[in-house]
Amino acid sequence: MTTTTLRRWFVVHKWTSLICTLFLLVVCVTGLPMLFSEQIWDAFVGDDDPPYEVLPPGTPNTSLDVMVSKARAMFPGQIVTQVNPDDDEPAVLVSMAPSWQALKDDDKYPDRHSGHWIKFDARTAKILKQSRPANAPKSPRTWTGIILDTATRLHMNLFAGLPGALFMGGMGMLFVASLVSGTVLYGRYMKRLPFGTVRRDRAARLAWLDLHNLLGAATLAWALVVGFTGFVNELQTPLFGLWRITDVRQILKPYAHLPVVSQDHLSSVQAAFDTAAKAAPGNEVTGLSFPGAPFGSPVHYVLWTHGATPLRARLFTPVLVDARSGELTGAYPMPWYLRFLEISRPLHFGDYGGMPLKVLWALLDLVVIAVLVSGVVLWAGKRKLSTDMRLRALDFDLEDAGTVPARAEHAR
């Protein structure tokens, strides 16, 4: 490697690191409460649902049609919008609204909230809990909810919506570039030192440099995976938008001109769940949207299925079931770019291995914070020096960099 090449790699590493450091610190700090959001919520807020009725093991679930009928009887004149069985508890959430148009209007007026839900015991169809009635005053938010929501929105888009998400995706790619360039420099830097050396007997600056390099090398693989998958995750809105205007539009085109089927003339919801489970073997049915839903069909139930294992739990396959006849229309695996997005999510969030993996992700996150802070310290200490002087100050031997040796140049 020539001196010119080494200098270029150093400049790339310096500027990519400096530009993304502040935003990476925000991401790392907010990522910690997001990792343990469920545990934090349970510890400080808890669940005010009534206890489940104790029933003999193996008690079958009640038909979903019974719960849908109960919900419609409680709110005559309203529509059912979704039915979602709980993944972890024997519960079913039935969502309702005055109309589809009311839900569309909610997007225009943030203070409006027409939708509400009813939570049923899946085994007995007894009501466990209800959300606030439509358009009732909002209940006060807890500090725990505010903190978790703030951390999530800062982490994802800095409270700036899609532009903020794309900006944070760009910071993720700069982070990947800084890791690659740092690896190149580290290989050159460690040419004369055993791996993992921290020279505490020399200047404090060299100890900082050794520590920065060691921690960066130790977390390199994890940081590359999390940084790149973070970039991919920030593209979810445009990628799903692309899917809707291409594949989804083509699939639903034959039905777009049809009127929305009345909910008084729909086929069985339970049968639709059973049909979807057969259409996507090995998957679990996680929810159903009624005809008329946004990005849905006017005459179909849209059912979402996902993988049954923790690593495949974010791999979704939508299924269409004709809501008039109950017949299967088709199962439609996601295109490759959405499959790639879905695979990247568990790798980024570390939520597929239970608490041990979350703890490991948190520890690695703390190490990356230390790398970022030590990098800022190194830059601040010598920020007024030229690139060559900084390289020498960081103990890089430019005389072995493949050009005319510095001593010979000085002799001339």
Residue 56: phi and psi, rounded to 5, are -60, 145
Task: Please report the pLDDT score of residue 412 as a whole number.
Answer: 32
CB within 8 Å of 215: residues ≥ 6 apart: 367, 370, 371, 374
**Contact predicate 186/215, CB 8 Å:** no
User: Closest Cα partner for 273 from 313, 328, 310?
Assistant: 328
| pLDDT of res. 149 | 94
Domain boundaries, the chain: 3-38+154-234+353-407, 78-140+264-348
Phi/psi for 40 (5° steps) reads -65, -45
CA neighbor of 169 nearest in space, from 83, 236, 231, 229: 231
Strands 328-331 and 316-322, by their bridges, are antiparallel
- Please tell me the distance from the alpha carbon of residue 254 to that of residue 168, in angstroms, as a whole number: 39
Tokens representing residue 33 in the block: 């409460």
CA–CA distance, 86 with 128 (Å, rounded to integer): 13
pLDDT at site 395: 57
CA–CA distance, 401 with 189 (Å, rounded to integer): 11
Q: Which pLDDT belongs to residue 410?
A: 34
Distance CA 217, CA 242 (A): 37
The pLDDT value recorded for residue 388 is 60
- Rounded CA separation 267/327 (Å): 9
Spans in the chain with pLDDT lower than 70: 1, 109-112, 133-140, 189, 192-193, 196, 201, 381-412
Q: In this structure, what is the dihedral angle of CA atoms 283, 284, 290, 296, given to the nearest 10 degrees?
A: -30
Is residue 33 within 8 A of residue 151, CB to CB? The reply is yes
Q: What is the pLDDT of residues 235-245, one digit of tens each?
A: 999 999 999 99
- Residue 385 half-sphere exposure, CB side, CA atoms within 13 Å? 14
Q: 3-class SS at 328? A: strand
Per-residue model confidence as pLDDT tens digits over 276-309: 999 999 899 999 999 999 889 999 999 999 988 8
